[in-house]
Structure 1
């Protein structure tokens, strides 16, 4: 059975009232025992002792129940239909946001699945190649890597040469400029 927030508060209130009643009952029994034994020793009647015990119980209940605050919740009205409809609306909005999250997650996973499917098809094509076809592809890829390697070496040497020349030029020009400024 699913509990709503209102029923949990009612259960807490009931437990506080029961706890308050146990405190009241325990103190009443203790007081009655003390009063009856003390009053009987003083010569009073048992009915008078019981009346004093009830008065003490009432005073104790007037102190304990407001301290627990349970009587307000216990006497509180149950939630109205409008409040329940509001709770249902918020629950439906929460469910809607969860469904949106699930749809986005599903779309991401479907995209990943599509990418894996394409990779699988490529691997199947590579696996279906004959040895001669594989060797031809390897030679072609090796030649392409060699061309790219030569281009990269030329590019790196060009940048190095330009950097060194720029450094010499700046160093040569900075010495007279520094003297002129100082």
Structure 2
């Protein structure tokens, strides 16, 4: 599955991406805000499995030259709930890429039949909460301890959720281009 936004191409990772992915995420300032990524992040950690119900995407900045990997965004299974997660490489912080990519992934989640998404952010990362609120996630008013592999400790997270309505009824403030299936597009050619 692929998606395109105004500035990004969202695509699955391939084995050939491991070195570039490792270079982009092997930054303690990024990994410390993620629950699942370990620190030290190694090239072996860059391998990602693909799951149609929980797609994960590399965020490729569309340029006139070769696209540049700037982060990742996707869905995961967290205690039976569908969780949105994302990270952006440090040179691209504060430029709206997390919101842009996550908006596309929320649309994909709805298109593949998910009814509700959850998300969280460590309380010392308020920028991530701002992204979630822009996407229409509601703060549940609850907090929970969640283990951070990057910090090797449990940290307090603010919890969010978003109910997904029927296609076209989403309340996100952005309108990404719809996701498309490359196999279906190739069959039409």
> TM-score of the superposition, structure 2-length normalised?
0.17
Structure exhibiting the larger radius of gyration computed from Cα positions: 1
More contact order relative to length (CA 8 Å, sep ≥ 6): 2
Structure with the bigger percentage of helix: 1
> TM-score of the superposition, structure 1-length normalised?
0.17
